[in-house]
Amino acid sequence: MIVMYKIGVVGDKDSVLAFKAIGIEVFPVFNEDEARKAVDKMAANNYGVIFLTEEYAAKIPDTVERYNNEIVPAVILIPSNRGSLNIGIERIHANVEKAVGVNIL
The pLDDT confidence band at residue 68, using thresholds 50, 70 and 90, is confident
Q: Print the domain residue range for 87.
A: 6-100
Question: Is the alpha carbon torsion for 77, 80, 82, 83 positive or negative?
Answer: positive
16 domain-assigned: yes
Give the count of domains, the chain.
Answer: 1
pTM of the model: 0.81
- Summarised one tens digit per residue, pLDDT across range 6-52 is 999 999 999 999 999 999 999 999 999 999 999 999 999 999 999 99
Longest CA–CA separation in the chain, Å? 42
The domain that holds 45 is classified in CATH as 3.40.50.10580
Strands (DSSP E) along the chain, which ranges?
6-11, 25-28, 47-53, 74-78
- The yes-or-no verdict on residue 58 having pLDDT over 90 is yes
